[in-house]
Amino acid sequence: MSTVNYRILFEIIVLHDYYLSQADEQSFFDLADVDRQDFLLRQLELEHYNVSKDLQIEPTSKTEKFFKNHRMRLVLTSTGFFVGAEIELVLNAANEEVYELAIPIAQSVTWEFTISIKNLEYRNFSNMRFKNSLPLNYLFTNENPGDIKNFPSLAFPVADFKAGVTYEMGELAMIDSKLNQAVEQTSDSTVGWEELASNHHWANEQDRILLPKLTSYNIRSTGISEIEFELQTPEGSAVLTFNTSDENTRKTTAPNGNLTSVILDFRNPENHDPAVESIASGRYNLQVSENGGAPIILPVFISDDLYMGNGLGGIVIHSRGAGSGSDILSADNKLIRVEGNHPLFEIRFKNRNCYWRYKSHSKKGLKAENEALNFLEEVDDDLRTKKPKSLQRLPVQFENGGGKIFLPNPGKPQVKPEKDGRLYTDVFVSEVEGLIGTK
C-alpha cells in the first residue's frame, strides 16, 4: 500500500489583543517570544481563544476548485488556518531530502480567502475607523512591494500623518517617525495624539483597500457640488472616469443641491452594463477630486470574489514572486522552508481604546471614592475614565503610583463616537464598594 504524504504549504494566524492583552493593558506582542508562545498555548488549552467563534474564513470558489484539482486542503485551526498539499520526497542538488508538490504548478498562482464576521461585537472591540467615504474592507496579502512589510505580520506599514485629514480616535499615524495613536478626533499633528512605546505592525487603515465592482462614495465634506473620479492602474494610467456632472452618473443630493453620495460602477468602462464585466479584479488607484480641488489618491483592490458586504476582508496568498521572504513555493515546485519551518504569516488586530463611562442602573448620580478618584471624573451624574482604557476580555487593571484597583469591565462593549470627538462605551453599575457610590 502506497503512502500519501501531506505537508503544510503555509499558515495564517489571526491574533487579537482584545483576547490576549494582559491585565495591565500590556499588548500580547510586548511579551518575549517564549512568553508569548506559552501564554497563547495556555489560552488555547483553556479554550479562551478561538478565531472561529468570531470569524469565518473560507476559500473563494476558484481557490476551492484549485485545491481539489491539485490535492490541497484547507484546515481550520483555533488560531486561523493552514493549507496542506500532497507532496513527494525528493533529493536536491546537495543530496538533502526536500518536499516537492505531487502535482506541479507551472506558474505562479494566487489563493484567495474571504473573512466574514460571526461575532457582531468584533468591530466594536477592534481598532478601526467607524466612518469612511468608501465601504472598505481589509485586504491581507504576502505580496510585499518594495520589501516594506515586517513579516510575519501581513499588515502594511502605518502611514505618515497627512495634513488636511481628520483622524478618528484610535487611528494610528507616524509622526516624526514615531508611531502615535489618536486619543480624540484630530486633524492636527501636535494635538490629540499619544506616542506608543512599540510598533507591533497591527492591521491598520493602509490595509483597508478592498472594494466590490459596484459601490458608493459617501461625501463627508459639506458644500460639495461636483466630484471627479478616475480609476487608474498602479502605474497611473487611466482606466475609466466618473464625473458627477455627467447625467449617466448616479448620485444623491441634499435639499440644498449639494452631493451626499455617488454610485461607482467599475463593471464596464464603456457602458456600465451589469451583464458585462471587463474591469479585471486587482489593484488600482482611485483618484478623487472634490469641487475641482487637489486630487487625493486612494489605493484600492477591486474584487467581487473577495468582497462581502458583512465581511471583514479578504486574504490573497501568492505562491511565488510575492517579494522578499514571502514565497510559498520555489520555481521548481519545492516547498519553501526556513530553518525547517513552513511559511507562517500573522494578521494582528489591536484592541480598541475608548473612554469608559459608568452609569447607574437606578439612574442615581454616581461618585468616585477613595482610590477611584485617581482614575474617574464626574460628568453630570456619570463617571468617566480620565484617560482612554483598552477594551479586552480580561479584567483591566487601573494603576497609579503603585496603587492598583479593578473596576467593572464593559461586558459586550457598545462603542459610539460622540460630538466631542471621543469614543465611549457605557458600563452600568449599582455601586462598587469603596470605589463607586451614589450621590
Structure-block grid coordinates of residue 101: 508538490
Q: How confident is the model at residue 166 (pLDDT cuts 50, 70, 90)?
A: very high
Nearest Cα to Cα of residue 279 among 297, 295, 264, 259: 264
Out of 37-51, 107-121, 272-286, 398-412, least confident range = 272-286
Q: 421 with 169: CB under 8 angstroms?
A: yes
Q: 252 with 227: CB under 8 angstroms?
A: no
| Predicted local distance difference test score (pLDDT) of residue 17 | 96
| Predicted local distance difference test score (pLDDT) of residue 356 | 96
To the nearest 5 percent, what fractions of the chain are helix, strand and coil? 10, 40, 50
Q: In sequence order, which residues have a C-beta less than 8 Å from that of residue 317 and are 6 or more positions away?
A: 10, 12, 110, 111, 112, 113, 141, 142, 328
- Taking residues 139-143, report their average pLDDT: 96
pLDDT reading at 3 higher than 80: no
Q: Where are the beta strands (DSSP E) in 237-321?
A: 238-243, 251-253, 259-265, 282-290, 296-302, 311-318
pLDDT reading at 401 higher than 90: no
Asked if the bond preceding 152 is cis, omega within 30° of 0, the reply is yes
| Predicted local distance difference test score (pLDDT) of residue 276 | 52
Mean residue pLDDT across the chain: 92
pLDDT in tens, 376-386: 999 999 999 99
| Predicted local distance difference test score (pLDDT) of residue 269 | 59
- Taking residues 78-86, report their average pLDDT: 97
pLDDT reading at 359 higher than 90: yes
| Predicted local distance difference test score (pLDDT) of residue 274 | 55
| Predicted local distance difference test score (pLDDT) of residue 421 | 93
| Predicted local distance difference test score (pLDDT) of residue 279 | 84
- Taking residues 262-280, report their average pLDDT: 70
| Predicted local distance difference test score (pLDDT) of residue 46 | 94
- Taking residues 43-53, report their average pLDDT: 95
pLDDT reading at 393 higher than 70: yes
pLDDT reading at 273 higher than 70: no
Q: Looking at per-residue confidence, does 369 or 310 come out higher? A: 369
C-alpha–C-alpha distance, residues 2 and 377, integer Å: 72
- Convert 11-48 to b/e letters by CB count within 10 Å (16 or more is b): bbbbbbbbbbbbeebebbbebeeeebeeebeebeeeee
pLDDT in tens, 240-258: 888 888 877 888 888 887 8
Q: CA end-to-end span of the chain, whole Å?
A: 80
Structure-block grid coordinates of residue 84: 496542506
Q: In sequence order, which residues have a C-beta less than 8 Å from that of residue 231 and are 6 or more positions away?
A: 238, 239, 240, 241, 266, 279, 284, 285, 286, 287
pLDDT in tens, 177-197: 999 999 999 999 999 999 999
| Predicted local distance difference test score (pLDDT) of residue 411 | 84
C-alpha–C-alpha distance, residues 4 and 6, integer Å: 7
Structure-block grid coordinates of residue 187: 486633524
- Taking residues 234-238, report their average pLDDT: 92
pLDDT reading at 389 higher than 60: yes
pLDDT in tens, 282-334: 999 999 999 988 899 999 999 999 999 889 999 999 999 777 778 999 999 99
Provide the whole-model pTM: 0.93
Taking the mean position of all CA atoms in its chain, how far away is CA 359?
31
The fraction of the chain above a pLDDT of 90, given in percent, is 76
Torsion of CA 231, 237, 240, 246, to 10 degrees: 90
Structural domain boundaries in the chain: 5-126+313-349, 213-301, 353-438
Q: Where are the beta strands (DSSP E) in 311-438?
A: 311-318, 344-349, 353-360, 366-368, 376-379, 382-385, 389-390, 397-400, 403-406, 415-417, 423-429, 436-438
| Predicted local distance difference test score (pLDDT) of residue 383 | 97
The fraction of the chain above a pLDDT of 70, given in percent, is 97
Number of other CB atoms surrounding residue 141 within 10 Å:
23
* Identity of the residue numbered 228: E
> Domain spanning 213-301 has what CATH number?
2.60.40
C-alpha–C-alpha distance, residues 80 and 82, integer Å: 7
- Taking residues 428-433, report their average pLDDT: 92
Q: Where are the beta strands (DSSP E) in 44-148?
A: 55-59, 72-77, 80-91, 97-101, 110-117, 137-141
pLDDT reading at 140 higher than 50: yes
C-alpha–C-alpha distance, residues 110 and 319, integer Å: 6
Q: How confident is the model at residue 1 (pLDDT cuts 50, 70, 90)?
A: very low
- Taking residues 103-115, report their average pLDDT: 94
